[in-house]
Amino acid sequence: MAATERHLRRRRHRDDPHRPSSASHPPATGAVISFSGVEKRYSATDVALDGNEIVVAGSVFAGSAPSYDFAIARFEPNGELDASFAGDGRQTTDLSGEADRAAGVRVDPQGRVVAVGTAAVPSTQLDPLALARYEADGDPDPSFSDDGLLVSDVAPEGADLLTLSDSSVVVAGTVSDDFLVARFTEAGEQDQTFAGDGEQTIDFNDGADRAWALAPSGDRIVVAGSARTARRGYDFGVARLRADGSLDESFGNGGIRAADFEGHEDIAYSVAVDRTKDIVAGGSAEVARQLDTGILRLQGRGR
């Protein structure tokens, strides 16, 4: 069966008769927090659940341009900051002295918060992948890369991560215009049992591919993003890896699958796997020069 590909167009008219009225829904609740006194200089990029608690990651302005730090906050179920985490529910981390930005966050099986992103390194003029792991009390975990912080040249950025049952960490990024998936041990070292050297690169069609998201699928790993094709522009790109880091050739075309909506710029920013092992990717799809929401569903073998 062909993949299910649909566009969810944004509604722009308040008088749309098919739009549910606000009276039919209870009011939303939430929390707004500040990491510093500088307005409009902090943002959240990802969220994870720790039991009933909520962990949020992003970046915070560190006081002078272009300095940003990783920012982590943990909330209790009622939306209050969890004071048992870093004293007031908030933790900031400077990895490079310049623009450090967290892109993804997870909680590992031992309750430790792990964040991935990018750290600017002035001496190299590069923005390498960065990882930080925090103990349950919010302090950096010294059992991970000696001080809880890891800056790696395996990729120029980190986009997303997974924490596995053995507390190892899988990260997704982009290197030399290809998808990159790398695995680090619980101690923060590159796992040489994964793809032979700790990292797997994935090229869809010799174009500029970019990985954005990861999802577990049993003992396999699904990575999604954009795949550049000479004829169609950018497509949704999805790949599946075995636990050892090799491409799962039972999926798609040798482990990869590119899906086109209408021949324009289609980019998958998120991915999930349901109970039947079907893969659902979401992102943007350009249709008639308009950027819409694109949803792709693939059966377990990438069809």
Query: Would you state the structure tokens that stand for residue 251, as one six-digit string?
Result: 């999926």
pLDDT given at position 31:
58
| pLDDT tens figures, 60-97 | 887 766 688 999 999 999 999 999 999 999 999 998 77
**What's the pLDDT score for residue 250?**
95
pLDDT in tens, 175-214: 999 999 999 999 999 999 999 999 999 999 878 999 999 9
Q: What is the pTM of this model?
A: 0.85
Helix (H, G, I), strand (E, B) or coil at 60: strand
Ranking 5-14, 107-116, 166-175, 278-287 by mean pLDDT, the lowest is: 5-14
More confident: 105 or 206: 105
Q: Is the pLDDT of residue 290 over 90?
A: no
Q: How confident is the model at residue 42 (pLDDT cuts 50, 70, 90)?
A: low
- Would the pLDDT of 16 be above 60? no
183-189, Cβ contacts within 8 angstroms, sequence gap of 24 or more: 183/245, 184/131, 184/150, 184/152, 186/143, 186/144, 187/143, 187/144, 187/145, 188/131, 188/133, 188/144, 188/145, 188/146, 188/150, 189/145
